[in-house]
Amino acid sequence: MTKTAWVFPGQGSQALGMGIDLLELPQAKAKFEQAAEILGWSVIDICQNQEEKLSRTLYTQPCLYVVESLLVDALRQKEQPDLVAGHSLGEYIALYVAGVFEWSAGLRLVKRRAELMDAAAGGMMAAFIGFDRQQLDQAIAQTNDVVLANDNSAAQVVISGTPEAVKSVISQVKAKRAIPLNVSGAFHSPLMSPAATEFEEVLSSVAFLPANIPVASNVDPTPSIDSEILKQRLIQQMTGSVRWREISLALPENNISRVVEIGPGNVLTGLIKRTCPDLSLINIRNMDDFKKFVSV
């Protein structure tokens, strides 16, 4: 029997116009209205008309949560996954799918997370593509105030830290491409500790239920259904590395043979293909993809 994992992209996958076609889903209008009450602004308006705002953390993360969860709600009427995982912000959709918290509680968490991360300042992130892993690891080890933030694949990672430290590592490592990212802070690094401490207080007030589907977390790819373990991993996520390469490697180890990426873009399936080329990969980015999938 084919075992399936659903995976959910995070910040960086957003695109102007995403989610607008979901309005034809029966439950979508009510969900968009509920989101507007929680957020104080319209996801539809941001996604349809305001590209600059859509690229800002404050708006990006809630928009992705709403759009991806609407696709999930429609897809669950056809099938259920055997494992879920999400990249950074995407982990919140994974936890929602697994029944760890209900939809509005998840959106309120994402809203506060986005506010705290948007307010972070003074840090820098940069992506490396096509590099010497040993050389990069050595440069990070010898440079203060910089860490490996996203271990996405053998050929693509992101570092995070102070601007001086990130620029120093860039100057030390030969890479096909080294790209500074347009973010406000040093996400997934110890520099996010003040924000993480404040967010931990928010998380502690939300009841987590045992997951009904195993969740592979960013800071620990070992699938778990334990509510306390999943909450602790989420607390660690803001300052910890996203271990996506290890999540990818764990998929076949957990007998997963098919992976469905739900949300805009195809970043995660691209990363998984480089790490585990034998897996069957599917993208559900919009209503057209959804209709094709359910008609098979």
Pairing verdict, β 175-180 and 124-131? antiparallel
List, in order, residues 6 or more apart from 43 with CB less than 8 Å away: 19, 32, 35, 36, 62, 63, 66, 67
Please pick, among 13, 160, 188, 217, the residue that the annotation labels catalytic.
188
DSSP 20: G
- Return the residue matching tokens 């909450």: 231
CA–CA separation, 199 and 113 (whole Å) = 7
Please pick, among 13, 69, 87, 88, the residue that the annotation labels catalytic.
88
- Return the residue matching tokens 């990818």: 248
Helices (H) and strands (E) in the chain, counts: 13, 9
CA–CA separation, 59 and 50 (whole Å) = 10
Q: What angle do CA 191, 61, 66 make, to 5 degrees?
A: 155
Reading the block at residue 198, the tokens are: 């404040």
Q: Let me know if 88 is a catalytic residue.
A: yes
- 3-class SS of residue 293: helix
List, in order, residues 6 or more apart from 176 with CB less than 8 Å away: 129, 130, 131
CA–CA separation, 34 and 62 (whole Å) = 12
- Return the residue matching tokens 């660690």: 236
Q: What angle do CA 86, 179, 11 make, to 5 degrees?
A: 25
Q: Let me know if 87 is a catalytic residue.
A: no
Provide the annotated active-site residues.
88, 188
